[in-house]
């Protein structure tokens, strides 16, 4: 009986270690996370999944890069911009950045003119307007033109936690959309620092289960209060 219990425990530990290799359940130390960051940089452009809603609104989904250091989780061009321009302008130390996000978008479409006016000096003004965009094109008698415009941008960002597999950890998935169908999301940069709170190894609580009595070799159910120490963290 005792031999069977030992074999069962060993099989359980082997199964847990194999699953950890696949899904990465165990908590890494800060040094281990830094080493992983250096060895596996994510400097490629984030892949966007494009979707279309029932009303033909386009939205994109992606998974942000989780890591320890900005330079290992964004493109080199964006990293240079953050270090040389953005962080100094905002007076933020780069090693204090917890999350970093940039959305690249363009406005493409056609807006019909609403009306046209000619003033006393023979200057011509053409007015354009839709729900989000408005502009006035002005042309003087010499043929010089200017454009005064206003755009009421609205971009919605939604973040959720999802599991890729039944036994995998939850990962963040971000969706970006806009009610203006003329606003196109062309790309994103998104770094989020991997902050993990070290779990407590010691614990005291109510314990229930089956216990082995060495003298008799019997396994009996029992409930009680006890202290525990976690050898492995999931």
Residue 59 has pLDDT above 70, yes or no: yes
Check: CB of residue 138 under 8 Å from CB of residue 148: yes
Cβ atoms of 28 and 36 closer than 8 Å: yes
Residues 124 and 205 in one domain: no
Residues 73 and 134 in one domain: yes
Q: Looking at 88-92, 174-178, 226-230, which range is the least confident one?
A: 226-230
- Residue 196: pLDDT band (50, 70, 90) is low
Angle ∠(174,180,184) on CA atoms, nearest 5: 60
- More confident position, 145 or 55: 145
Q: Is the pLDDT of residue 132 over 80?
A: yes
Q: Where are the alpha helices (DSSP H) in 26-93?
A: 30-39, 76-81, 87-90
DSSP SS3 for 18: helix
Q: Are residues 94 and 159 in the same domain?
A: yes
Residues 41 and 62 placed together within one structural domain of the fold: yes
Range of the domain at 16: 2-20+199-229
First-to-last C-alpha distance (Å) of the chain: 30
Dihedral angle computed from the Cα positions of residues 13, 15, 16 and 20, in that order, rounded to the nearest 10 degrees = 140
- Average pLDDT of the residues in 105-121: 93
**Structural domains of the chain, count:** 2
> Under DSSP, is residue 83 helix (H, G, I), strand (E, B) or coil?
helix
Residue 67 included in any domain:
yes
Q: Is the pLDDT of residue 80 over 70?
A: yes
Q: Give the model's pLDDT for residue 165.
A: 74
Instruction: Give, in order, the Cα–Cα distances in Å from 45 to each of 53, 102, 188, 190, 224.
Output: 25, 12, 8, 10, 54
Average pLDDT over residues 142-170: 89
Domain presence at residue 207: yes
Q: Are residues 163 and 213 in the same domain?
A: no
Residue 175, judged by CB atoms within 10 A of its CB (0-12, 13-18, 19+), counts as middle
Q: Are residues 101 and 179 in the same domain?
A: yes
pLDDT at 31 over 90: no
User: pLDDT band at 47, cuts 50/70/90?
Assistant: very high
Q: CB atoms < 10 A from the CB of 196, how many?
A: 11
Least confident of 39-53, 58-72, 92-106, 190-204: 190-204
Confidence of residue 26 (pLDDT cuts 50, 70, 90): low
**Whether residue 149 is found in the same domain as residue 214:** no
Q: How high is the pLDDT of residue 199?
A: 57
Residues 55 and 6 in one domain: no
Instruction: Name the one residue in this structure whose structure tokens are 């942000």.
Output: 64
61 or 39, which is more confident: 61
35 in the same domain as 107: yes
What letter would DSSP give residue 168? S
Based on the fold, state whether residues 148 and 49 are members of the same structural domain: yes
The overall longest dimension of the chain from CA atoms, in Å, is 110
* pTM, rounded to two decimals: 0.67
Same domain flag for 83 and 170: yes
My answer on whether 96 and 204 are in the same domain is no
pLDDT > 70? residue 201 = no
- Residue 234 located in a structural domain: no
Q: Is residue 75 predicted with pLDDT exceeding 90?
A: yes
Strand partners, 124: 118, 139
Return mean pLDDT, the chain. Answer: 82
Mean pLDDT of 62-77: 92
């Amino acid at each position: 009986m005792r031999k069977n219990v030992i074999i069962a425990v060993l099989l359980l530990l082997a199964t847990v270690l194999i699953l950890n290799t696949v899904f990465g359940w165990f908590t890494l130390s800060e040094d281990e996370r830094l080493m992983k960051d250096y060895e596996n940089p994510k400097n490629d452009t984030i892949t966007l999944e494009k979707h279309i809603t029932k009303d033909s609104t386009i939205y994109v989904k992606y998974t942000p890069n989780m890591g320890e250091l900005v330079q290992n989780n964004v493109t080199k061009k964006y990293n240079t911009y953050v270090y040389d321009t953005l962080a100094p302008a905002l007076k933020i130390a780069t090693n204090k950045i917890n999350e970093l996000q940039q959305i690249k978008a363009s406005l493409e479409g056609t807006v019909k003119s609403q009306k046209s006016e000619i003033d006393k000096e023979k200057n011509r003004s053409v007015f354009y307007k839709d729900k989000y965009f408005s502009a006035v094109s002005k042309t003087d008698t010499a043929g010089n033109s200017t454009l005064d415009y206003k755009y009421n941008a609205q971009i919605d960002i939604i973040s959720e936690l999802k599991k890729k597999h039944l036994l995998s950890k939850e990962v963040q998935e971000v969706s970006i959309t806009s009610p203006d169908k003329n606003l196109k999301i062309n790309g994103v940069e998104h770094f989020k620092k991997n902050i993990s709170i070290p779990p407590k190894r010691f614990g005291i609580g109510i314990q229930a289960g089956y216990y082995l009595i060495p003298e008799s070799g019997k396994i009996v159910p029992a409930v009680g209060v006890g202290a525990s120490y976690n050898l492995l963290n999931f």
